[in-house]
Amino acid sequence: MRFKYNIFFVIVFLLPICLGILGVTFPKAIDEVRIFSTQITLPIFKTQATVIRWFRDQGQHLLEWAHLSQENDQLKRKVQELENELNSVSMLKKENERLTALLDLKSRNTGPSIPALVVGRDPSNWSNFIVIDKGKKDKIYVNTVLVHPEGLVGKVISAGKNSARAILLTDSQSRVSALDERTRDVGLVEGEGSAMLKMTFLDYNSQIQVGDLIVSAGLGGVYPKGIPIGRVTMVSEEKNRLMLYAYVKPFVSFSKLEEVLCVNK
């Protein structure tokens, strides 16, 4: 009996070690298994997310009901203002097109964007990823970029037929080339597994300041250029005193993400 228990004990300990070795040897196979598990659970979590969103929307409509007529008047005024602005913007647009053509600059080439619902989140305390309800069937592939009206979210790391797993900017394995919009200093924005991002490899003579806007630099070939990431909250020098680093507060509230836009380059 005792011998049997010891054998069982050894098996229980050896099994995860074998799985770990399997994961190192065949990372693709593990990815496939993970995406398969996501596919299985997708219908449940997609239905759940849709129902929750419907109830939340209904609740919001009820709360907004009282302010609708007041809001309508405000919006009418706003439309009038915007129409006036539009006229001047169209003039500027034409001028911009003319100048761009003169400089022979290529416009940013991004494909059509596909909206997706966030149906799952990482249960672990160490990695940050989400599951979306769109997959290869909807032309979502590995490295498809996820954006939100507020800014950059992350990129797809594995895609199944109807779902995909995407790494968030805050994950400790996430890297994005970024630049300071004011000073044009380039650095690397890294996730730290917390709510803040760290911008490293900044030139020691960089004029980066607290409050500066950080956008994607488009140097890595995955993320398009110019997508807002966040604002600088702290600047300091590295231990080696050769470079600076900065902490960036992302615009996107990753823990409250419900919908994202998927963009293929």
Partner 1 sequence: MPSPLLKERFVWFFVFLIWLELSFLPLISVEWLKPDLFAIFLTFYAFQIDRKHLLILALILGLAKDLLSNAFFGLETICYISGTVFLQIISDQFDRDKRWIQIVSVFLFTFFTLTMFSSLMLLVQPRYGITFSGFIKICFVAIYTMAVSFVGFPVLQKWVSPVFRQKQYELF
Residues at the contact surface with partner 1, assessed by CB under 8 A: 8-9, 12-13, 15-23, 30, 33-34, 37, 41, 44-45, 48, 120-129, 157, 165, 167, 170-173, 192-195, 255
Nearest distance from C-beta of residue 199 to partner 1, angstroms: 17
The one-letter code for the residue type at 93 is K
Nearest distance from C-beta of residue 38 to partner 1, angstroms: 8
- CB nearer partner 1, residue 122 or residue 203: 122
- CB nearer partner 1, residue 23 or residue 224: 23
Burial of 228 (0-12, 13-18, 19+ CB in 10 A): buried
| Separation of alpha carbons 203 and 186, rounded Å | 8
In angstroms, the Cα distances linking 231 to 10, 150, 191, 211, 265 are 51, 12, 14, 5, 25
Nearest distance from C-beta of residue 136 to partner 1, angstroms: 19
Nearest distance from C-beta of residue 18 to partner 1, angstroms: 8
- CB nearer partner 1, residue 17 or residue 63: 17
- CB nearer partner 1, residue 3 or residue 13: 13
- CB nearer partner 1, residue 206 or residue 243: 243
- CB nearer partner 1, residue 4 or residue 76: 4
CA 249 to chain centre: 14
The one-letter code for the residue type at 225 is K
Nearest distance from C-beta of residue 23 to partner 1, angstroms: 3
Nearest distance from C-beta of residue 61 to partner 1, angstroms: 22
End-to-end CA distance of the chain: 62
